[in-house]
Amino acid sequence: MFWNEEINEIKKRDTLSKKQGGEESVKKHHEKGRLTIRERIDCLLDSETFDELGVGAGVPVFDDNNELIDFQPANFVLGFGEVAARKVIIGGEDFTLKGGSPNPAGLRKSVYAEQLALQYKIPLVRLHEGGGGAVGGTSQNKNHRPLGEPVFNMSRFYSLAQTLGVVPVVTAALGPVAGLPASRLVASHFSVMTKNAAVLIAGPQVVKRALGKDLSKEQLGGPEVHLKSGVINNLAENEEDAFNQIRTFLSFMPDNAWQRPKRIVCSDPANRRDEELASIVPKNSRQPFQMRKIIRHVIDLEKEETTFFEIGQKFGPSLITGLGRMQGHSVGIIANDCMYYAGAMTSSAAQKLRKFVDFCNSFHLPVLSFVDEPGFMIGPDSESAGTIRFGTEAISAVMQSRVPWASIQVNKAFGVAAQAHFGPQAYVLSWPSAKTGALPVEGGVAVAFSREIAASPNPEQRQRELEDLLATSQSPFPKSEGFSVHELIDPRETRPKLAAWLDLAIGSQTEPAKPFFATMRP
Amino acid sequence: MEKNINTHVAGQVWKLEVAEGDHVSKDQIICIIECMKMEIPVLAPVAGELSKWLVSSEDIVSEGQVIGILTAEE
């Protein structure tokens, strides 16, 4: 062999690089109950499929005789791998080296992750744990004067923004994530955090100096904060659970925006009619019910388990969003949860809806919309949260939707906000429990007939009479007579009807799949 | 161990379904809040004894407010 010496040095560098932050640092990391980035990648990927890029990126250390004695690797591990036998790009910060705060080679590799995704058009998975830049710069050389990026370089955020329209991006926060990694974390279609993770713009010390507030990492950006803020979609019990959720999410997705999700074999019969569907919505409209039960009865079961995968339950909780399967097809699911403000559209629910509909359009997921919309949330908090604008933005997103869309009028569909549940050319089914109109009678009558009610000798009785009278006009039967719904059905027929429709709708798509772009919205 | 009972919605307390000193099981409906013309149940977060109500019928409550204290079973 001519190149024995060099080949040995490659091997030596490879071994030194994989020591990560060194034994002591790795041990400390394990003591906190966390896996290292290399262990994480191995856990998430199919066995022995990791094909690393840039093991040799980093800074070698030589002794006086110019012998290699150490190697400080890039603190971002990157490569290709497979999840359920499908190729992905995977990467994440190495917290055992400088707490994941980017060193120069680490920064280059992290930015390259998105460029790779754009080039090879396969899903991108990022496992985050690390800080952002340091005030002294990222160089290991203390006398180094930071020169910045060349002016002709494309901003690192260019590819970050591009990827969202091109490939599925999935991220996890598996420890403290701050600054640049936090920004990349939220630039995703699905994000998950473990219980001991925190997501921060800036950490406790910076906050204390700037604002005089003494708060822990968890108080600033723990799961309690960020599941509700919408920064993160789902909570994971532990890292393994986070990896399982990532696998599940990816199972619904195509590789990129030029493909449609692949249909899988479905053993659940299309004509399954669950009896309970006829008795979930109570006759008394003041009593709430479990919308998730309805979703579970209608969509596919796989080995008797639901295929429903909910995304972002805690943010804007009056709206339910998630993925599921219908006859083996991936579908996006939207529904109201009347346990929260009767299912009313709050500002956060509207933002959640807008993002979810754009996501479904980006990856060609047909939408099933289970409607129980009493209208926009009312009151001073809702007004100051800008609900009408975010709500109208959500409606605009729905109007620009191009995916097959079915709406099931389960219960209420009132006011402007109801429009956010019916996509263009939607297939509309109505249940006998459906009630529609400009305003629910309970509030509407009191306003519209205020004089008549006040002039009556028994105002309360008159209000009730008027409410009963007008309630009949909100019944689904006249809507069915007027063909303003496709069909008024026995709720037990929902699954067979949707299954048959979805086959037709998917079969009728003649245009090739391509990336989705939307215009300016309110 | 004492455990706070929070309401996940704002509204008006319509009915307290259990009295102080009553034993409750996990997820039992212990209070009903009227919100947007609907009766939203508040469930016991754990099994135990209801030690104290901090609200009474017809009180206005805000989202996340502590409405009672539960002493959890050992």
The shortest CB-CB distance from B40 to any of A285, A288, A381 is to: A288
Residue A320 and residue A236 in one domain: no
Question: For A480-507, b where at least 16 C-beta lie within 10 A, e where not — what string?
Answer: beeeebbebbebbbbbbbbbebbeebbe
**pLDDT attached to residue A307:** 97
CB-based contact, B60 to chain A, within 8 Å: no
Number of compact structural domains in chain B: 1
Region B38-50: what's the mean pLDDT?
93
Beta-carbon separation of B41 and A288 below 8 A: yes
**pLDDT attached to residue A134:** 63
**Is residue A191 in a domain?**
yes
CB-based contact, A291 to chain B, within 8 Å: no
Residue A304 and residue A244 in one domain: no
Per-residue DSSP letters for A472-498?
HHTSHHHHHHTTSSSEE--GGGHHHHH
Of A79-83, A98-102, A252-256, A485-489, least confident by mean pLDDT is: A98-102
**pLDDT attached to residue A137:** 55
**pLDDT attached to residue A385:** 97
**Chain A contacts of B39, Cβ < 8 Å?**
286-288
**pLDDT attached to residue A144:** 66
**pLDDT attached to residue A491:** 98
The rounded distance, in Å, linking the Cα atoms of A53 and A482 is 62
Question: Which pLDDT band holds residue A445 (cuts at 50, 70, 90)?
Answer: confident
Q: Is residue A180 a contact partner of residue A133, using CB atoms and an 8 Å limit?
A: yes
Q: Is residue A373 a contact partner of residue A413, using CB atoms and an 8 Å limit?
A: yes
**pLDDT attached to residue A29:** 95
Region A168-185: what's the mean pLDDT?
95
A254 by DSSP, 3-state: which?
A: coil
**pLDDT attached to residue A140:** 53
Q: What pTM was computed for the model?
A: 0.93
Residue A286 and residue A427 in one domain: yes
Region B44-55: what's the mean pLDDT?
94
The rounded distance, in Å, linking the Cα atoms of A55 and A79 is 9
Determine the structural domain holding residue A395 and report its residue range: 275-438+475-507
More confident of the two residues A323 and A150: A323
Per-residue DSSP letters for A365-419?
--EEEEEEE--B--SHHHHHTTHHHHHHHHHHHHHT--S-EEEEEEEEEETGGGG
Region B41-60: what's the mean pLDDT?
94
Beta-carbon separation of A287 and B39 below 8 A: yes
**pLDDT attached to residue B37:** 82
Q: Does residue A329 carry a pLDDT above 90?
A: yes
**Chain A contacts of B36, Cβ < 8 Å?**
341-342, 344, 374, 377
What are A469's two structure tokens?
A: 């009278």
Q: What is the CATH number of the domain that holds B30?
A: 2.40.50.100
Return the percentage of chain A with pLDDT > 90, whole number: 82
Residue identified by tokens 């003649």 is: A510
What is the distance between the terminal CA atoms of chain A, rounded to a whole angstrom?
68
Beta-carbon separation of B38 and A340 below 8 A: no
The rounded distance, in Å, linking the Cα atoms of A341 and A190 is 26
Residue A244 and residue A280 in one domain: no
Residue A185 and residue A308 in one domain: no
**pLDDT attached to residue A476:** 93
Q: Does residue A139 carry a pLDDT above 70?
A: no
Q: Which of A314, A341, A372, A442 to mutate to test the interface with B (most CBs of B within 10 A)?
A: A341
Shortest CA distance to A167 belongs to which of A498, A491, A444, A513?
A513
**Is residue A469 in a domain?**
no
The rounded distance, in Å, linking the Cα atoms of A293 and A410 is 12
Residue A204 and residue A286 in one domain: no
Q: Does residue A169 carry a pLDDT above 80?
A: yes
Q: How many other CB atoms sit within 10 Å of the CB of residue A92? A: 28
Question: For B48-65, b where at least 16 C-beta lie within 10 A, e where not — what string?
Answer: bebeebebeeeeebeeeb
Shortest CA distance to A191 belongs to which of A312, A361, A94?
A312
Q: Does residue A438 carry a pLDDT above 80?
A: no
The rounded distance, in Å, linking the Cα atoms of A297 and A311 is 19
The overall average pLDDT reported for chain A is 93
Backbone φ and ψ for A492, nearest 5 degrees, come out as -70, -15
**pLDDT attached to residue A441:** 72
Q: What is the CATH number of the domain that holds A203?
A: 3.90.226.10
CB-based contact, A287 to chain B, within 8 Å: yes
Question: Which pLDDT band holds residue A437 (cuts at 50, 70, 90)?
Answer: confident
Question: Which pLDDT band holds residue A371 (cuts at 50, 70, 90)?
Answer: very high
**Chain A contacts of B10, Cβ < 8 Å?**
381
**pLDDT attached to residue A142:** 60
Q: Is residue B48 a contact partner of residue B2, using CB atoms and an 8 Å limit?
A: no
Sorted by sequence, the CB contacts under 8 Å of residue A337 that are 6+ apart come out as A291, A292, A317, A318, A319, A320, A343
Could you give the angle at which helices A494-507 and A291-298 cross, rounded to 10 degrees?
Answer: 60
**pLDDT attached to residue A474:** 83
Residue A244 and residue A312 in one domain: no
Question: Which pLDDT band holds residue A391 (cuts at 50, 70, 90)?
Answer: very high
Model ipTM value: 0.84
The rounded distance, in Å, linking the Cα atoms of A117 and A248 is 20
Residue A199 and residue A279 in one domain: no
Beta-carbon separation of A443 and B35 below 8 A: no
Region A139-167: what's the mean pLDDT?
82
pLDDT digits (tens, 9 = 90+) for A41-90: 999 999 999 999 999 999 999 999 999 999 999 999 999 999 999 999 99
Q: Does residue A138 carry a pLDDT above 60?
A: no
CB-based contact, B29 to chain A, within 8 Å: no
Residue identified by tokens 């009408």 is: A388
Of A24-28, A352-356, A404-408, B36-40, least confident by mean pLDDT is: B36-40
**Chain B contacts of A286, Cβ < 8 Å?**
37-39
Residue A178 and residue A76 in one domain: yes
The rounded distance, in Å, linking the Cα atoms of A375 and A444 is 12
Determine the structural domain holding residue B41 and report its residue range: 2-72
Region A127-143: what's the mean pLDDT?
69
Region A343-369: what's the mean pLDDT?
98
Region A113-135: what's the mean pLDDT?
90
Return the percentage of chain A with pLDDT > 70, whole number: 97
Residue A217 and residue A81 in one domain: yes
**Is residue A446 in a domain?**
no
Residue A396 and residue A295 in one domain: yes
Q: What is the CA radius of gyration of chain A?
A: 27
**pLDDT attached to residue A285:** 85
**Is residue A393 in a domain?**
yes
Alpha-carbon distances of A259 from A263, A322, A369, rounded to whole Å: 12, 20, 23
Query: Nearest chain A Cα to B8, which residue?
Result: A340
The rounded distance, in Å, linking the Cα atoms of A348 and A522 is 15
| Nearest CA-CA distance, residue B16 and chain A, Å | 16
Number of compact structural domains in chain A: 2
Pairing of strands A435-437, A405-414: parallel
**Chain B contacts of A317, Cβ < 8 Å?**
8
**pLDDT attached to residue A143:** 65
pLDDT digits (tens, 9 = 90+) for A451-466: 888 889 998 888 888 8
Pairing of strands A76-83, A51-53: antiparallel
Question: Which pLDDT band holds residue A135 (cuts at 50, 70, 90)?
Answer: low
CB-based contact, B43 to chain A, within 8 Å: no
The shortest CB-CB distance from A342 to any of B8, B38, B41 is to: B38
Beta-carbon separation of A317 and B37 below 8 A: no
